[in-house]
């Protein structure tokens, strides 16, 4: 039997709060029936587990005043690296209450405005410094791969060895956000690094094996790798693991990739999501002109 300190937040809540195990099962069933992301569900369950452990009872047994006091404390917590903990707690509780048909409690939760912040981008020199920081080959490869293919954290841990096609130079990303597959190019330098990594580490099934029950790496593990290696660099920007995907998108735009192609590479459902990167990309300005001039210049060059 594992020690209490070795149990996950969810496992501790199941032991401490009567009825929480049934809640977890109900949430899991709903996600399967609705075809939603299991990673989103796990995040919600962890937040609800923390909430239940704090009060030692289920959310429906907690008064509105108690909930508001708890959320205010969470929002003002100086130890929290961002507002993400607060936001995910609100999202998790809202999902939970709606699942139970308690719409009044869901509506009573604070409304969250979308942050209109632009993504922070790492420049080429910063990326080189970051990728040279890890001492472990596996960490170097995983960070480089995320940038090289614009991957989400969940997509990285779901990659199987068979998803890398060295002959066609492609990476097959399966059933990602929105339950969509996509194929992205495999960089030549990434191919060299991956072959070296596979020979050295000899992973089984998953491209990156980890300590999860199913043998996968975890997104939390990836985030830790990013944080720890950032400490070894001179980078002072407020960046995280997802900043590598932001940098991929921005750099491709700056190198001439059109926005529609970029949308497909990123796996976005809506092009307006992709258009965010137009605000941060440093694309060369082209002086307004008539395409007729370009046409005749092209002919003149060909006739010379």
Which among 240, 247, 230 has a CA at the least distance from the CA of 121? 247
Nearest-angstrom CA–CA distance, 41 and 95: 10
Q: What are phi and psi of 218, to 5 degrees?
A: -115, 155
Selecting among 95, 97, 147, 277, the annotated active-site residue is 277
Rounded (5°) CA angle 247-249-252:
105
Q: What is the pLDDT of residue 299?
A: 47
Residues 6+ positions from 297 with CB-CB distance below 8 Å: none
Selecting among 94, 251, 263, 268, the annotated active-site residue is 268
Q: State yes or no: is 289 an active-site residue.
A: no
Crossing angle for the helix pair 137-149 and 242-254, to the nearest 10 degrees: 50
Please give the CATH number for the structural domain made up of 124-279. 1.10.443.10
Q: State yes or no: is 279 an active-site residue.
A: no
Residues 6+ positions from 197 with CB-CB distance below 8 Å: 137, 138, 141
Q: What are phi and psi of 171, to 5 degrees?
A: -120, 125
Selecting among 105, 152, 216, 263, the annotated active-site residue is 152
For the chain, the farthest-separated pair of C-alpha atoms sits apart, in whole angstroms, at 85
Q: State yes or no: is 152 an active-site residue.
A: yes
Selecting among 94, 216, 245, 246, the annotated active-site residue is 245
Selecting among 88, 138, 174, 177, the annotated active-site residue is 177
- Where do you find CATH 1.10.443.10 in the chain? 124-279
Q: State yes or no: is 46 an active-site residue.
A: no
Nearest-angstrom CA–CA distance, 231 and 135: 13
Q: How far is CA 225 from CA 49, 52, 140, in A?
A: 25, 30, 9
Q: Find residue 206's DSSP bridge partners.
A: 160
Nearest-angstrom CA–CA distance, 170 and 160: 13
Q: State yes or no: is 195 an active-site residue.
A: no
Q: State yes or no: is 70 an active-site residue.
A: no
Which among 126, 254, 134, 247 has a CA at the least distance from the CA of 193? 134
Residues 6+ positions from 289 with CB-CB distance below 8 Å: none
pLDDT 10s per residue in the chain (304 long)? Answer: 556 667 888 899 999 999 999 988 888 887 777 766 667 777 788 889 999 999 999 999 998 889 888 888 887 776 654 556 788 888 889 888 888 888 888 888 887 766 668 899 999 999 999 999 999 999 999 999 999 999 999 999 999 999 999 999 999 999 887 778 999 999 999 999 999 999 999 999 999 998 887 888 988 899 999 999 999 999 999 999 999 999 999 999 999 899 999 999 999 988 988 998 988 998 776 677 677 776 766 544 544 4
């Amino acid at each position: 039997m594992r020690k209490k300190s070795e149990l996950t937040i969810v496992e501790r809540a199941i032991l401490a709060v009567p009825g929480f195990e049934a809640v977890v099962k109900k949430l899991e069933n709903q996600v399967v029936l609705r075809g939603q992301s299991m990673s989103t569900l796990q995040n919600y369950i962890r937040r609800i587990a923390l909430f239940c452990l704090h009060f030692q009872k289920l959310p429906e047994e907690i008064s509105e005043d108690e909930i508001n006091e708890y959320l205010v404390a969470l929002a003002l917590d100086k130890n929290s690296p961002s507002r993400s903990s607060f936001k995910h707690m609100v999202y998790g509780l809202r999902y939970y209450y709606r699942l139970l048909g308690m719409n009044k409690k869901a509506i009573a939760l604070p409304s969250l405005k979308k942050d209109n912040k632009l993504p922070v981008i790492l420049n080429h020199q910063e990326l080189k410094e970051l990728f040279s920081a890890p001492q472990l080959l596996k960490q170097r490869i995983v960070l480089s791969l995320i940038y090289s293919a614009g991957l989400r954290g969940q997509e990285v841990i779901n990659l199987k060895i068979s998803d890398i096609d060295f002959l066609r130079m492609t990476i097959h990303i399966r059933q990602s956000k929105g339950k969509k597959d996509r194929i992205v190019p495999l960089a030549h330098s990434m191919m060299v690094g991956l072959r070296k990594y596979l020979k050295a580490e000899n992973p089984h099934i998953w491209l990156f094996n980890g300590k999860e029950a199913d043998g996968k790496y975890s997104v939390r593990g990836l985030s830790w790798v990013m944080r720890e290696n950032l400490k070894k660099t001179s980078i002072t920007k407020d960046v995280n693991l997802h900043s590598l995907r932001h940098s991929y998108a921005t750099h491709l735009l700056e190198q001439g990739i059109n926005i529609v192609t970029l949308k497909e590479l990123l796996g976005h459902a809506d092009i307006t999501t992709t258009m965010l990167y137009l605000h941060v990309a440093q694309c060369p300005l082209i002086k307004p002109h008539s395409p007729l001039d370009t046409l005749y210049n092209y002919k003149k060059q060909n006739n010379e």
